[in-house]
């Protein structure tokens, strides 16, 4: 892969920011709808009006989530005016969905899944929670999967239709957002109609695992903790 999204790089000619480059890759090359997040306030807290915001800096505000788009001109305009804005991915529909869990539990869970030989796609890490990106699913499919489980760890959160997660490289109230497992394209296509964010061949969107595979593996890894507890507990 010529470039890993979110890796720190020298500024491009013309001062284009790393968040803008990453947002363009998501929107134009991968067709993932994005919009700018509110970002943290200088001195701490969230940039939104809520002094007790539960996810400071890590959510949409103005524009709202419904404004998420893959339109290159809109993405350029947003991040040209707010070059340090977090990148918010609107999950669901044709876009990736995600399962997230507390950071400490996620470290243990990913190690367990690796030992089980489960193939994962991109994993986003913040200081407080990690998100495992999965292929799109709808609420009906998720309901069926949850019903089939005898028990699901309460620490798991599901980000589907109408939800969102923050992508690297972003700064939010909790700290920096980074790739724990960077996105890897399935293949790189030859030059196609239009131009991707890198101005050349357009990359195929990263491979994403099925939500059922990941959920089954997480539940199995959690219930097989040696001490009888759960690896996915806080």
Dump the DSSP string for 3-43.
--TT---PPPTT---HHHHHHHIIIIIS---EEE---BPTT
Q: Given this model, what pLDDT does residue 221 score?
A: 82
Give the three-state DSSP class for 111: helix
- Across residues 48-58, what is the average pLDDT? 93
Q: What is the pTM of this model?
A: 0.84
Number of structural domains in the chain: 1
In a domain, 143, yes or no: yes
Candidate ranges 96-100, 106-110, 219-223; pick with highest mean pLDDT: 96-100
Residue 201 exposed, middle or buried by CB count within 10 Å (0-12, 13-18, 19+): middle
Is residue 39 situated within a structural domain?
A: yes
Contact (Cβ atoms closer than 8 angstroms) between residue 75 and residue 202: no
> Would the pLDDT of 12 be above 80?
no
* Domain annotation covers residue 152: yes
CB 116 within 8 Å of CB 220: yes
pLDDT, residue 229, reads 54
Q: In terms of residue numbers, what domain contains 186?
A: 18-223
Identify whether 234 is part of a domain: no
Is pLDDT above 60 for 196? no
pLDDT class of 42 with cuts at 50, 70, 90: confident
Mean pLDDT for the stretch of residues 69-88? 97
Whether 67 is in a domain gets the answer yes
Indicate whether 230 belongs to any domain. Answer: no
Alpha-carbon separation of residue 8 from 4, 11, 27, 61, 205 (angstroms): 9, 9, 19, 26, 21
Residue 11 lies in a domain: no
| Euclidean distance between CA atoms 94 and 27, whole angstroms | 12
Question: Does residue 219 fall inside a structural domain?
Answer: yes
Q: Which residue has the higher pLDDT, 75 or 15?
A: 75
């Amino acid at each position: 892969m010529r470039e890993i999204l979110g890796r720190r790089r020298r500024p491009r000619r013309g001062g284009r920011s790393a968040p803008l480059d990453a947002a363009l890759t998501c929107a134009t090359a991968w067709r993932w709808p994005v919009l700018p997040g509110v970002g943290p306030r200088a001195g701490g807290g969230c940039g939104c009006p809520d002094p007790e915001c539960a996810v400071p800096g890590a959510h949409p505000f103005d524009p709202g989530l419904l404004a998420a788009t893959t339109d290159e001109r809109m993405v350029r305009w947003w991040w040209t005016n707010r070059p340090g804005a977090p990148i918010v991915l609107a999950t669901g529909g044709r876009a990736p969905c995600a399962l997230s869990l507390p950071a400490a539990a996620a470290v243990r869970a990913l190690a367990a899944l690796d030992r089980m030989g489960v193939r994962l796609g991109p994993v986003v890490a913040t200081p407080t929670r990690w998100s495992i990106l999965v292929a799109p699913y709808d609420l009906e499919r998720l309901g069926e999967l949850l019903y089939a489980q005898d028990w699901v760890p309460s620490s798991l959160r599901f980000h589907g239709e109408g939800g969102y997660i923050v992508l690297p490289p972003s700064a939010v109230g909790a700290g920096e957002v980074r790739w724990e497992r960077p996105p890897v394209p399935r293949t790189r296509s030859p030059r196609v109609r239009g131009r991707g964010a890198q101005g050349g061949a357009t990359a195929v969107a990263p491979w994403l695992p099925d939500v059922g595979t990941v959920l089954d593996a997480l539940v199995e890894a959690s219930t097989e903790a040696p001490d009888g507890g759960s690896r996915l507990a806080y």
